[in-house]
Amino acid sequence: MKRLTFLPNALIARGIILTAMAAALLSVCNAAPVPIVLTGADRRPAISLDGNWAAIVDPYFSGLFSFHHEEKKNGFFLNRKAQPGDPFPTEYDFSKAPTLKVPADWNTQRESLFFYEGPIWYERDFTYQPKEHTRVFLHVGAANYHSWFWVNGQKVCEHEGGYTSFNCEVTAAIHAGGNFVVAAVDNTRHEDGVPTLETDWWNYGGLTRSVSLIEVPEEFIDQYDVHLSQTNDSVIEGWVHVEGGHAGQRVLVILPELDRMVSFTLDGNSRTTIRIPVADLERWSPETPNLYEVKISTANDSVTDLIGFRTIETRGTEILLNGKPIFLRGISIHAEAPYRTGRANTDKDAETLLGWAKELGCNFVRLAHYPHDESMLRAADSMGLLVWSENPVYWALQFDNPKVLAKAEQQLDEEIGTSRNHAAIILWSMANETPNTEARTRFIETEAGYARTLDPTRLITAALLVRADGQTKIIDDPLGKALDVIGFNEYIGWYEGHPESADTTEWRVEYQKPLIVSEFGSGAKAGLHGEENQRWTEEYQASIYRHQFGMLNRIPQLRGMSPWVLMDFRSPNRPLTSIQDEFNRKGLISDQGQKKQAFFILQKAYKEKTVGKPE
């Protein structure tokens, strides 16, 4: 079996040398085959492994670790099926275990797992017919947080990070007829994790997104980037990488609607840059979310994607979409499933959440606080919603720990590698509300530099904290220097002062760059009514929104907003009985779909363009 690495081909091709930190991580991971990033995985034919998986709860992780806490070679009991006459007691017998549904978090499936944080074993049988000259990958949409996989007892990969997809090669482990896959998924929080111990959202565990088998030829198109040139709007450019490809091999790129078919040649790094002159291209925008079929093929492989073409850049304090200034009328969204709660992971969830954003009058969504799934991005592309996509560098990570930086960079590789062809995404967010320390600034500057090497076509942002001097709020966090667009969060009227405090608040912004207020808001229990000064009522929340608008309109370089948050979401930090009941209640809509008053206040302001700079 050919070994693949995490290393994005784009980086190899650009001759960029791995940071010492990333190299260190790779060598640590060398023990297990490492998964690869696949662009457009959802565009390939797949054999679904979704459904019911046998599941064994293993809080002490005794299935993987021995009584002296050494990792058992190959998972011992767990990597094989119990056989009659086994010499050892088989305590982990999947045939006797209850099941859990995949894709889904385990917390909302079984009452006893609601607060569970730890490892759970999954097992599923499947039949398979190998084909000649075909490689097979186990595609995992997401497994939160740390996961291990075995196919027919052979370890096929290990992965850290709960919100990105990855692909483990199983070609050598899979065989004709009956097969079985075992996964261990552990959502234990770690100080050196990304995110770390503290978050304000539910730590949903499990195989939270779809799992499938993807078949590809021996040489296959693993990554590609197809976008409109920033400098010439009649040229589509980018690159294609063919895993296992060789110099001189042909790659065809076809855009049927534009009547284009252009051939390129792979270089010694199995990569080619592409450049395709086009005429009469209808550019992608929120008003005209045009998507074009793009077919990329080699002699043996082909993938067809749907891609929109637009440019995004900044000029002074403006954000320019297709060369024209735009104000981002947005809302923040967690990947929380409407109506049923739990992790959002279906096309229907995406349509509901983004449908509400459209109803609100948005042209923009902040997908907080981690990469959301492919269905959200496909829906945003086709519905015409610009997207802020975020790496889970949230609050206080171990910023002086090189291994943590390597983990953040690995998650960026996966986020950008899988979703780089979505026209909707305009902003890569590096972090949220991080403490202003030198180690933090160095960490995120490095992360931002890395993101730029992976994708120089989009804007880099982060949600910063602000400080105050009396009635003046100051945005001068040194991290601002590393960003193209500055996001900032503030909770005037909720965590400080009263809703009216916004009327007298002034802002001093040390950067001549576009600003987005990436959060403001207040808690409100849907259906709870009272006076405007009564916390938790819909009236209080509505009042916060009204008072914010005037203040925001006085910030000259404000170019966007994404109030917190579209829908109530589960958080263990929110225990207030009969109000919160383990939900963060800052949603404009309850988890059961009830719209609160503030929804209509924001909707009116967006539709009448009374907040923000009219274009």
Residue ranges binding ligand GCB (CB under 6 A): 200, 369, 432-433, 489, 519, 564, 584, 586
Q: How far is the CB of 369 from ligand GCB (least distance, A)?
A: 6
- Choose between 79 and 489: whose C-beta lies nearer to ligand GCB: 489
**Residue 179: which H helix or E strand, with range?**
strand 177-186
What is the DSSP pairing of strand 177-186 with strand 146-151?
A: antiparallel
- Label residue 383 left, alpha or beta by phi (over 0 means left) and psi (-120 to 50 means alpha): alpha
CA distances (Å), origin 168, targets 46, 183, 288: 14, 12, 37
- CA 393, CA 395: separation in Å to the nearest integer? 7
Report the chain's C-alpha Rg in angstroms. 24
Query: How far does CA 121 lie from the centroid of its chain?
Result: 24
- CA 93, CA 78: separation in Å to the nearest integer? 8
Q: How far is the CB of 495 from ligand GCB (least distance, A)?
A: 7
What single-letter amino acid sits at 314?
A: T
- Choose between 461 and 489: whose C-beta lies nearer to ligand GCB: 489
What is the DSSP pairing of strand 220-228 with strand 235-243?
A: antiparallel
- CA 250, CA 59: separation in Å to the nearest integer? 52
Q: How far is the CB of 330 from ligand GCB (least distance, A)?
A: 15
Q: How far is the CB of 36 from ligand GCB (least distance, A)?
A: 31
- CA 392, CA 411: separation in Å to the nearest integer? 8
Q: Return the closest-CA partner of residue 516 out of 460, 472, 468.
A: 460
Q: How far is the CB of 584 from ligand GCB (least distance, A)?
A: 5
- Choose between 94 and 520: whose C-beta lies nearer to ligand GCB: 520
Q: How far is the CB of 544 from ligand GCB (least distance, A)?
A: 12
Q: How far is the CB of 122 from ligand GCB (least distance, A)?
A: 29
- Choose between 66 and 573: whose C-beta lies nearer to ligand GCB: 573
Contact indicator for 486, 531 with CB cutoff of 8 Å: no
- Choose between 421 and 429: whose C-beta lies nearer to ligand GCB: 429
Q: How far is the CB of 597 from ligand GCB (least distance, A)?
A: 18
Strand ranges (E), 549-609 = 558-561, 569-570, 583-584
Tokens of residue 238, six digits: 């980018």
- Choose between 371 and 384: whose C-beta lies nearer to ligand GCB: 371
Contact indicator for 86, 93 with CB cutoff of 8 Å: no
- Choose between 207 and 463: whose C-beta lies nearer to ligand GCB: 463
- Choose between 345 and 584: whose C-beta lies nearer to ligand GCB: 584
Using Cβ positions, the residue closest to ligand GCB within the complex turns out to be 200
